[in-house]
Amino acid sequence: MGKRARSNSRVAAQRQSQPQQPTPVPTAASSQTTEARPASRPPTPRPQSTPQQTSTQTPSSSSSPPAAEPLHPPVDPEKLASAATTIQQRWRIHKAYKTLDDVCHRFEDVKRGFVYPSVIDFVKPSPPKSSDEMEVDSKGDGGIVSVRAVHPPSDFTEADQEEEEGSTKPKGKLAYTSTNYSLHQYADSLDKLLLALDAIESWGDAGVRKRRREEVKMVEHEAARVDWYWREAWSSYCQSQSS
């Protein structure tokens, strides 16, 4: 007991002999630092972004807008049928003009490619019934007479065309020989062109009728020129035989 009391007194004496350190006083800077550093808080969870859903709300009947008019109003069936008829009519008229152009081009091609022959073969006539007239029998006697053309086709005029229709000159009969092949072919081509023009419908269009009439007149004039050409050759031959 005496030893423990002596040791306690030594410790107390040492503590008293050591200088006592002052207790630190908190300053304003330390308080600001303490306030600036608040206690750590757990992180706040971020709300997850979800796609915004557009809710379709049915407007009430009282606030509903008026119904929109249709983009294409209903078409009257009668107007529709009339428009279809008009389109079809115009297409037919257009086709008629195109056909007239085609026939005109064919006529120019045929006319350009034909050369009037200088010699024409005729069926040999039967003996004349009178001294001033020579006629050709329906069959002839089987002979061929080659006659030289004396009048060029350029001499043909509209007056000759009118005279040819009521002519009383002796009429010969063209023979079907190689000499007359181009002549027969040309006359046949002109006849086919006239048939093609006759088959063109005007569909009530005055322009189509006028154009067709002009084309028919030109083809008929050329056909009359061909007939006049070989008939004049035969008439000159008959006159030379009777003199």
DSSP string, 129-161: SBTTB----SS--S-EEEEE--S-GGG--HHHH
Confidence label for 212 from pLDDT (cuts 50, 70 and 90): very high
Give a yes or no: residue 177 inside a domain.
yes
Q: Is residue 108 part of a domain?
A: yes
Mean pLDDT score of the chain, rounded to an integer? 77
Average pLDDT over residues 220-236: 91
Owner of token pair 């808080």: 41
Query: Do the domain assignments include residue 50?
Result: no
pLDDT of residue 207 exceeding 90 = yes
Radius of gyration of the chain (CA): 62
CA pair distance 152, 118, nearest whole angstrom: 9
For residues 224 and 164, the answer to whether their CB atoms sit within 8 Å is: yes
Examine residue 51 and state whether it is found in any structural domain, yes or no.
no
* In-domain check, residue 120: yes
pLDDT category of residue 136 using cuts at 50, 70 and 90 = very low
Q: In which residue are the tokens 């027969």 written?
A: 184
Domain that holds residue 133: 80-242
Single out the residue of 197, 200, 204 nearest to residue 218, CA to CA. Answer: 197
pLDDT in tens, 80-101: 888 888 899 899 999 999 999 9
Residue 8 lies in a domain: no
Q: Tell whether 94 is covered by a domain.
A: yes
Question: Tens digit of pLDDT for each residue in 142-197?
Answer: 589 999 998 888 888 877 766 666 666 667 889 999 999 999 999 999 999 999 99
The Cα-based distances of 90 to 87, 100, 101, 212 in angstroms read: 5, 15, 17, 17
Tally the domains of the chain.
1
Nearest-angstrom CA–CA distance, 234 and 121:
10
Residue 5 counted as domain residue: no
If one counts every other C-beta atom within 10 angstroms of the C-beta of residue 128, the result is 14
